[in-house]
Structure 1
Amino acid sequence: MPYVNIKVTDEGVTTEQKAQLIKGVTDLLFDVLGKDPNLTFVVIDEVPLTDWGVGGLNVAEFRAKHATQD
């Protein structure tokens, strides 16, 4: 009974995109591991940019810093 948790930043991921992620992950687990799609759980969490960190900064700060360096 696989459980997959996908975390993405909350930047307008559409219902259709989420459906594609759910189906794609479910299909992958079936194709690679033979896991029953009816017993595969996929959860998508949307995380605010200020709650996601990279390089010691939240994503909003990280992007702002690197945008000025380009």
Structure 2
Amino acid sequence: MALEDDIATLTVLVQGMLAESGEQAGFDAREWLDRWLTGVVPALGNRRPIDVLNEPDGLEVVKSLLLRAQSGAYS
């Protein structure tokens, strides 16, 4: 799957997480995701999620991290 497809998949995931968790008014899931993907994330060994997406199973790793963040289960 191409990087843009992965980002589209993650955007849908973030939109769904927000729908389950809180107020959606004024929140742009894609804009938030774009910023998050390019920032350093300690839970990824201080790597950027965008870099992890280029690795084998990277989409699953990033999806799992987002879902754990939603539930509060950082591991």
Give me the TM-score of the superposition, normalised by structure 1: 0.33
Q: Which structure has the greater CA radius of gyration?
A: 1
Q: Which has the higher helix share?
A: 2
Q: Which has the higher strand share?
A: 1
Give me the TM-score of the superposition, normalised by structure 2: 0.31
